[in-house]
């Protein structure tokens, strides 16, 4: 029985195009599952009583037996908007989308025999920045002074302790939206004027950190035992000084070699979070110290491969082939 690599994502995910190119070049058997195609284009054939779990692609006229899937690359799935069904109201549509969500979860559960980069449930656990910072501190990374609190006194104490400035960020990812419309909440500077809105602080915990005096930002891609580090000159942009993702400016990027100790710790925190792949954000501060900011368990990497020529997609495909 031929083993297959399954790519779980959506139609607009150009990052998976890099993986597809490498799989084709190596002659690997694979299927790209754009989950918004379920069930209009991709039919589900699950016979639990007969132990048969199949997907049928009506466009490609092919059947995918989930038992033959040896490895899964999990990226950015989406749920169908069901626009092709017109005779339903919004309540029915939401109900059906919830059903679809659990059906797709059933696909993930059915693939628990496979090797994942990364396992969807490990990704969800690793997205919690409280857990990330706890593990980062345990293994010896330098982290910013960090407090999460809805007590005004606790927040005030951070400003008192760090008069050089503070930032705030989401505890998970910064995506905010309803249905398929969303926007991103970036890391932002914050000052003690926020204390005037004490009722808002009391209403919901604030994640606050000391502001790091940046030299430059670093995006470090970890794949198994390999790291690929990119220096990002964020301080070249006014908009990107606090969070380089905010700016549309073309920031200079360069390859850098991490100190061996930082390289090993980057691999270790990835493993401790139960991941094969991660995208870790560091800062090199003005004193030459590497400061851990966060670990993105499903973070972007394709632009780094494209700009700096790192063999990231090859390394991911290596992991999928070796793990599966």
DSSP assignment string, 208-229: EEEPP-EEEEEEEEEETTEEEE
Q: Are 296 and 128 in contact (CB under 8 A)?
A: no
In angstroms, rounded to a whole number, what is the distance separating the alpha carbons of residues 214 and 289?
Answer: 10
> Do you know the residue count of the chain?
324
Of 67, 69, 2, 58, the C-alpha closest to 31 is: 69
Q: What is the pLDDT of residue 231?
A: 96
The count of C-alpha atoms lying within 13 angstroms of the C-alpha of 129, restricted to the half-sphere facing its C-beta, is: 22
Residues 6+ apart with CB under 8 A from 236: 249, 251, 252
CA 238, chain centre distance (Å): 26
Q: Are 215 and 284 in contact (CB under 8 A)?
A: yes
**DSSP percent split of the chain into helix, strand, coil, nearest 5:** 35, 30, 35
Buried/exposed code over 12-51 (b: 16+ C-beta within 10 A; e: otherwise): ebebbebbbebbeeeebebbbbbbbbbeeebeeebeeeee
Q: What is the pLDDT of residue 322?
A: 96
Q: What is the pLDDT of residue 290?
A: 98
Which residues is 293 bridged to in the sheet? none
Query: Angle of helix 15-26 relative to helix 312-323, nearest 10 degrees?
Result: 60
pTM summary value:
0.91
Q: Are 149 and 166 in contact (CB under 8 A)?
A: no
In angstroms, rounded to a whole number, what is the distance separating the alpha carbons of residues 214 and 229?
Answer: 17
Helix (H), strand (E) counts: the chain: 9, 18
Laid out side by side, the sheet with 62-65 consists of: 42-47, 52-57, 62-65
Q: What is the pLDDT of residue 166?
A: 87
The predicted-structure confidence for 254-295, as pLDDT tens digits, reads as follows 999 999 999 999 999 999 999 999 999 999 999 999 999 999
Q: Which residues of the chain have pLDDT under 70?
A: 1, 173-183, 195, 237-249
In angstroms, rounded to a whole number, what is the distance separating the alpha carbons of residues 34 and 98?
Answer: 17
**Beta strand 30-34 pairing with 4-9:** parallel
**Domains observed in the chain:** 4-117 (3.40.50), 119-141+213-310 (3.30.470.20), 145-211 (3.30.1490)
């Amino acid at each position: 029985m031929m083993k297959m690599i399954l790519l779980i994502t959506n139609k607009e995910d150009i990052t998976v195009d890099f993986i597809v190119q490498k799989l084709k070049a190596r002659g690997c058997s694979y299927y790209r599952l754009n989950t918004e195609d379920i069930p209009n284009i991709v039919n589900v054939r699950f016979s639990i009583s007969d132990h048969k779990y199949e997907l049928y692609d009506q466009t490609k006229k092919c059947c995918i037996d989930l038992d033959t899937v040896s490895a899964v690359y999990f990226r950015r799935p989406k749920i169908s908007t069901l626009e092709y069904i017109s005779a339903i109201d919004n309540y029915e549509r939401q109900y059906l989308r919830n059903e679809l969500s659990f059906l797709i979860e059933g696909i993930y559960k059915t693939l628990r025999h496979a090797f994942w980069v990364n396992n969807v449930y490990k990704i969800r656990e690793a997205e919690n920045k409280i857990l990330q910072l706890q593990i980062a501190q345990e293994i010896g990374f330098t982290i910013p002074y960090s407090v999460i609190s809805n007590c005004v006194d606790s927040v005030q104490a951070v400003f008192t302790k760090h008069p050089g400035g503070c930032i705030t960020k989401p505890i998970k990812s910064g995506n905010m939206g309803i249905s398929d419309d969303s926007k991103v909440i970036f890391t932002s500077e914050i000052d003690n004027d926020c204390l005037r809105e004490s009722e808002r602080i009391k209403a919901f915990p604030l994640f606050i950190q000391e502001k790091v005096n940046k030299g430059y930002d670093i995006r470090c891609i970890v794949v198994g035992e390999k790291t690929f580090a990119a220096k990002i000159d964020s301080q070249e942009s006014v908009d990107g000084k606090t969070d380089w993702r905010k700016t549309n400016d073309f920031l200079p990027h360069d390859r850098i070699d991490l100190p061996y100790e930082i390289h090993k710790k980057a691999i270790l925190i990835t493993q401790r979070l139960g991941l094969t792949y991660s995208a870790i954000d560091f800062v090199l501060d003005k004193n030459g110290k590497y400061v851990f900011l966060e670990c993105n368990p499903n973070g972007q990497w394709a632009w780094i491969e494209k700009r700096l020529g790192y063999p990231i997609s090859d390394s991911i495909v290596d992991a999928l082939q070796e793990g599966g």
